[in-house]
Chain A
Amino acid sequence: MAIIGQIEGHITLPPQNKTTKYEHVIPQLVAIEQNPKIHGLIVILNTVGGDVEAGLAIAEMIETLSKPTVSLVVGGGHSIGVPIAVSASYSFIAETATMTIHPIRLSGLVIGVPQTYEYLDKMQDRVIKFVTRNSRISEEKFRQLMFCTDQMARDIGTVMVGRDAVRDGLIDEVGGLGQAVKKLQQLVDERCNGGMKD
């Protein structure tokens, strides 16, 4: 399954955006779970981010899939692509792929009431909790990367290239398509053998 471009949520985006539509992906994941002929799933990610709710929904579905899942980040897995990447049983990132971690905000809008800030903070906490639960990175480290001020020219946050993401425990291993397929095969084999013993 390929997740590319913007993750499209409740708002239909104008046609110049390449989008991954959650209303199509979610039933696909249901079908993958139900189909006895499907033994595993490989998710290839090259996304610039998108809708928080839709992205988290996809990530939660992949996380709770009972079949082995492997994710591979190529090109970029930014913003809401991060929880999707870590949701798989095992995650890979290409050596030159990048992941941008930055705070959730309403760009160009002045936060007028404290409730707005609290709402954003809550959304952010959901993402952070999901990521720290599904990877080796600590909450402290993830927050530090998210609010880093000396990495990006016009923004706060961190751009992580392949190895950085593995070093900080966000992603399991640096690798490409070959390794990802091999790992999935290994996980599928382990699951089949385990099942026979029962």
Chain B
Amino acid sequence: MLWTIMPLDVVLEGSESFQPSYAEIRCKNGGTLLVEPIRPNRAKVVRLISTDPTHYLNPSLQPGSIIEFKW
């Protein structure tokens, strides 16, 4: 349930056509990253999945940050 001052149609605009393609990559430190590939070897972090809370404090693994990786 959303409680916001933004009109709901503005918030949800494009939600039907929004079909992102995500890829999962394994991190060296043990976590898994859900990323949205933007260019070869470059991707935007969507979500970090890890059982170690300290991984979440790493700024380079924040959702929205761009990472470089090798397949």
Against A, the Cβ 8 Å flags (1 = close, 0 = not) of B1-33 are 111111111011111001010000000000000
Q: Does A162 contact B (CB under 8 A)?
A: no
Q: Is B40 an interface residue (CB 8 A)?
A: no
Closest to B62 in A: A24
Number of CB contacts from chain A to chain B under 8 A: 85
Whether the pair A51, B2 counts as a contact (CB closer than 8 A) is yes
Q: How far is the CA of A23 from the CA of B49 in the complex (A)?
A: 9
Chain B interface bracket (under 10, 10 to 19, 20 to 34, 35 or more): 20 to 34
Whole-angstrom CA separation of A6 from B12 in the bound complex:
11
23 contacts across the A-B interface (CB closer than 8 A): A6-B4, A6-B11, A13-B15, A14-B13, A14-B14, A16-B13, A17-B11, A23-B47, A24-B48, A28-B53, A28-B57, A30-B56, A34-B53, A49-B2, A49-B3, A51-B2, A52-B1, A53-B1, A55-B3, A76-B5, A79-B4, A80-B4, A108-B8
20 further A-B pairs in the complex, CB-CB below 8 A; given A14-B12, A49-B4, A100-B5: A6-B2, A13-B12, A14-B13, A14-B14, A15-B14, A21-B47, A23-B47, A24-B56, A28-B56, A31-B53, A34-B54, A35-B54, A51-B3, A52-B1, A53-B1, A79-B5, A102-B5, A104-B3, A108-B9, A123-B3
